[in-house]
Chains A and B, each alone.
Chain A
Amino acid sequence: MGIRIIVLAKQVPDTRNVGKDAMKADGTVNRAVLPAIFNPEDLNALELALRIKDDLPGTTVTILTMGPGRAAEIIREGLYRGADDGILLTDRAFAGSDTLATSYALSQTIKEMGAYDLIVAGRQAIDGDTAQVGPQVAEKLGINQVTYVEAILSLDKTSITVRRRLDNGVETVMAPLPILLTVNSSAPDCRSRNAKLLMKYKHARTVTERQNEAEDYLYLYDSRPFLNIHEMTVNEIKSIPDQLGLTGSPTKVKRIENVILQAKDAKRLTAADEGINDLMKELIESHVIG
């Protein structure tokens, strides 16, 4: 008895390896120099989904991502690890979406995808750090949500028990399905790409990608339907245009500034008991420890 899982994933610039060219002169992110990667916590989410698939035969995992054409790479990365299929939601109409417009577009897409039992997403993306999209999607779909999940403890056809990682400890929560979970980086790391799946799916492409490629392998797509990555545009979902893209995004960025963190003067402590005592007091007072 398997269940149907949708994984929400995002392609993000790799902000963990920022060089000096990372920001443009106008203060916006220079996406051209930052490699595009699978948002790290979305990989944790994918791993949770794949573990359910490992344990519950018949489970299917579908990746849903919204982004420009090149975000199809996220679907392929999912397929290499064990996802069954994926949908790339891409259209100029979605350009400039903030979290509200993004969650609207994603939820409207999910409504077209048929019945599901579980939606998992990373807690937040490293390019925005808002942690809003997952919860908003759940709200718009009218389903339950549990945030900050790090492990699934048990699962049956009607309910799920998960462990949440919070600032001050852990919490075990049981909830009915369908449900949306957002997953923390404290969850297990995602597995590597699988050699056979990598070779099987490396030619997987969206229709748009195929139009831009050499014709060498075009014959493949009729005989191997699994190589067709499903691309959806605004026309394939029911939506109110005003709620999409830039017009549907109430977030307005007023100003962006470069903040350069500078080390302040160092404080010199003695190795004597007194010095250590002072340090401990200071750390406790500033709530670094205790």
Chain B
Amino acid sequence: MANLYNDNRDLKFHLSHPMMQKLVMLKERNFTETGDFDYAPLDFEDAMDSYERVLEVVGEISGDIIAPNAESIDAEGPRVIDGHVIYARGTQENLDALIKAGLLGITLPRRFGGLNFPVVPYIMAADIVSRADAGFVNIWGLQDCAETLNEFASEEQKQRWLTRVVNGETMAMDLTEPDAGSDLQAVQLKATWSESKECWLLNGVKRFITNGDGDIALVLARSEEGTRDGRGLSMYVYDKRKGGVSVRRIEHKMGIIGSPTCELVFKDAPGELIGSRKLGLIKYVMALMNGARLGIAAQAVGISEAAYREALQYAKERMQFGKTIIQFPAVYEMLSVMKAKLDASRTLLYETARFVDLYKSYQHISEERKLTNEERDEMKEYQHLSDLFTPLVKGITSEYCNQNAYDAIQIHGGSGFMKDYAVERIYRDARITSIYEGTTQLQIVAAIKGVTTGGYLKQIHVYEKQELRPDLEKYRRVLISLTQDFEEAAEKVISVGDTEFTDFHARRLVEMAGYIVMSYLLVCDANRDIEYARSAQNFNKMAKGEVKARAEFIRASSLEDIGHYKY
């Protein structure tokens, strides 16, 4: 089959973004590891060449093994035997291939055996694997959890845990409980210090845990007796080799069937404290979730890609009324919208990944040496941008992948409704992306601050100042006008000064910001490569309609109206 990296020029385009130079230099600390590790890059070009080559391997495994296995995994699913998960045959085969290829611990430092890749190529690998099988990317993508250990565990803990991840052990993040879903402050699972065993013991139940039987799990537990909120929670590592956790059942799900979603019972399971007590939720889970949200965005973009390709291919082959259906305006228009959403999702994904990369690199450097004032300011700026863009990208890409999957089925007509075509699975797999790791509604809650504090507006003004080819100026003019609409709408909502009113319009406001940001990013892409001119244009037109509609809605809305919406 095709190599899913080589057959997608969009990936190479985003990998070659001008900001990569700075980002790679920081990640590689000016290429100082060359003497200690024979696989460390020698310079910027060498590093980029390495990313490309490794992504080619990801693309090859995705095309040759993961994509062909997707259908049988979806039919077979995982099982529970004696309290442990047995993956579907294809899942294990996929995992074995990726482990042999050394594709776990991609972003971890070399001293633990990692590849020390920046976030951008890692997210790109997730984008590729997700296109092949969105259910499988969950299991492989949970290596994200290791980043949290790398950030907050002690050096000695990192040595023990991270080396195991690099060697192919899978991970899980055990957060959700029956009564603590979106509201993690309500977590009940108990952690008690045992003097006799000299370790923490975990007792309780976790639910909806992806890859819950993974080898190494991060567990959020209540360590402070008598507390009820997030400040009584700490983070622990549980080692499957030690035992104490059993899988009670696996959920029967609508999609991502290959990914085992487990209900776990902890009975005196030994846990190792990570970082400081009481910071479990408020610091570590927040970091963990931010990483995971970017991962879901990559998953969503991969799904959008798969949906678009299936639809395009079908539309080019299916004959009706004597011609291929792609020749009908109703169909090609739908495909062009899918492509515009796909390109917009992807450009937002890699923009966010670059912000996260720069912020994380500075953060790790700050642990090695004192940052200069200039560096410290930059770190804060990129941290701010990461916080601003992560909920936005998670929310928008997951909604778009659902829309694209929906349209992909529509283009297939009756055939799309049958199990015979891949779009049926893609549609089911897409559905979870706007729910887990925080629903779209919760992403809006996180993102609305960026509207009310002017964060998005500030960044929009940065994009506004980009130099553009003359033929792209017309898009900037449109976007300047849309930005005014956005600013007015935000000002109006803020001036009402009512939290419920703000919450009521939050989605509209965040989406307005999202349309303007993505449209600018696509115009910048078109400025760098003429190939993106069509998506830049199509999305710009779409953005205009969507932003104007929301602006009008907000303009005509008042606090008194809200009562009409309550049933």
**A and B together in one complex:** yes
B39, B103, B106: the one within 8 Å of A200 (CB): B39
Give residues 71-124 of B contacting A (CB, 8 Å).
Answer: 97, 100-103, 106, 115
- Does B215 have its Cβ within 8 Å of any Cβ on chain A? no
- Does B541 have its Cβ within 8 Å of any Cβ on chain A? no
Chain B nearest Cβ from A246, distance in angstroms: 38
Interface segment among B52-60, B238-246, B295-303: the answer is B52-60
C-alpha gap A194/B46 in the complex (Å): 17
Instruction: Please indicate the chain B residues that have their CB under 8 angstroms from the CB of A217 in the complex.
Output: 42, 46
Known A-B contacts A200-B39, A217-B42; A195 and B103 likewise in contact (beta carbons under 8 Å): yes
Chain A nearest Cβ from B380, distance in angstroms: 33
- Does B50 have its Cβ within 8 Å of any Cβ on chain A? yes
- Does B145 have its Cβ within 8 Å of any Cβ on chain A? no
Flag A237-273 by CB within 8 Å of B: 1 or 0 each: 0000000000000000000000000000000000000
C-alpha gap A15/B39 in the complex (Å): 34
B39, B49, B97, B106: the one within 8 Å of A192 (CB): B97
Nearest residue in B to A223 (C-beta to C-beta)? B35
Chain A nearest Cβ from B113, distance in angstroms: 8
Give residues 318-367 of B contacting A (CB, 8 Å).
Answer: none
C-alpha gap A194/B60 in the complex (Å): 12
Give residues 189-208 of A contacting B (CB, 8 Å).
Answer: 191-200, 202
Asked if B53 and A192 sit within 8 Å, CB to CB, the answer is: no
Give residues 64-118 of A contacting B (CB, 8 Å).
Answer: none
Known A-B contacts A199-B50, A202-B49; A193 and B57 likewise in contact (beta carbons under 8 Å): yes
Q: Most A CB atoms within 10 A — which of B39, B97, B103?
A: B39
Asked if B100 and A192 sit within 8 Å, CB to CB, the answer is: yes
C-alpha gap A191/B54 in the complex (Å): 14
Give residues 211-233 of A contacting B (CB, 8 Å).
Answer: 217, 220, 224, 226
Chain B nearest Cβ from A82, distance in angstroms: 9
Known A-B contacts A199-B53, A199-B54, A202-B49; A192 and B61 likewise in contact (beta carbons under 8 Å): yes
Interface footprint category on B:
20 to 34
Instruction: Please indicate the chain A residues that have their CB under 8 angstroms from the CB of B102 in the complex.
Output: 194-197
Asked if B57 and A191 sit within 8 Å, CB to CB, the answer is: no
Instruction: Please indicate the chain B residues that have their CB under 8 angstroms from the CB of A220 in the complex.
Output: 42
C-alpha gap A169/B525 in the complex (Å): 58
Instruction: Please indicate the chain B residues that have their CB under 8 angstroms from the CB of A200 in the complex.
Output: 38-39
Asked if A224 and B50 sit within 8 Å, CB to CB, the answer is: no
Asked if A202 and B115 sit within 8 Å, CB to CB, the answer is: no
Chain A nearest Cβ from B94, distance in angstroms: 12
Asked if A191 and B39 sit within 8 Å, CB to CB, the answer is: no
Asked if A191 and B42 sit within 8 Å, CB to CB, the answer is: no
Instruction: Please indicate the chain B residues that have their CB under 8 angstroms from the CB of A192 in the complex.
Output: 57, 60-61, 97, 100-101
Nearest residue in A to B49 (C-beta to C-beta)? A202
Known A-B contacts A199-B53, A202-B50; A194 and B42 likewise in contact (beta carbons under 8 Å): no
C-alpha gap A199/B42 in the complex (Å): 11
Chain A nearest Cβ from B207, distance in angstroms: 35
Asked if B100 and A194 sit within 8 Å, CB to CB, the answer is: yes
Instruction: Please indicate the chain B residues that have their CB under 8 angstroms from the CB of A194 in the complex.
Output: 100-102
C-alpha gap A195/B55 in the complex (Å): 9
Chain B nearest Cβ from A203, distance in angstroms: 8
Flag B39-51 by CB within 8 Å of A: 1 or 0 each: 1111000100110
Nearest residue in B to A191 (C-beta to C-beta)? B100
C-alpha gap A198/B61 in the complex (Å): 15
Nearest residue in B to A219 (C-beta to C-beta)? B42
Asked if B42 and A195 sit within 8 Å, CB to CB, the answer is: no
C-alpha gap A220/B43 in the complex (Å): 13
Give residues 159-199 of A contacting B (CB, 8 Å).
Answer: 191-199
C-alpha gap A220/B100 in the complex (Å): 27
Instruction: Please indicate the chain A residues that have their CB under 8 angstroms from the CB of B57 in the complex.
Output: 192-193, 195, 198
Chain A nearest Cβ from B61, distance in angstroms: 5
Q: Most A CB atoms within 10 A — which of B42, B61, B100?
A: B100
Instruction: Please indicate the chain B residues that have their CB under 8 angstroms from the CB of A224 in the complex.
Output: 38
Chain A nearest Cβ from B451, distance in angstroms: 41
Asked if A191 and B97 sit within 8 Å, CB to CB, the answer is: yes
Instruction: Please indicate the chain A residues that have their CB under 8 angstroms from the CB of B60 in the complex.
Output: 192
C-alpha gap A36/B53 in the complex (Å): 18
Asked if B97 and A196 sit within 8 Å, CB to CB, the answer is: no
B40, B53, B61: the one within 8 Å of A202 (CB): B53
B39, B41, B49, B61: the one within 8 Å of A196 (CB): B39
Additional A-B contacts beyond A196-B115, A198-B54, A199-B50 (12; CB < 8 A): A192-B57, A194-B100, A195-B54, A195-B106, A195-B115, A197-B39, A197-B102, A198-B50, A199-B40, A202-B50, A220-B42, A226-B38
Binding site for B on A (CB under 8 A): 191-200, 202, 217, 220, 224, 226
**Considering the complex of A and B, which 8 residue pairs feature the smallest CB-CB distances, nearest first?**
A199-B39, A195-B102, A200-B39, A192-B101, A194-B102, A195-B54, A199-B50, A196-B39
> 20 A-B residue contacts at CB 8 Å?
A191-B101, A192-B60, A194-B101, A194-B102, A195-B54, A195-B57, A195-B101, A195-B115, A197-B102, A198-B57, A199-B39, A199-B40, A199-B41, A199-B50, A199-B53, A202-B50, A202-B53, A217-B42, A220-B42, A226-B38
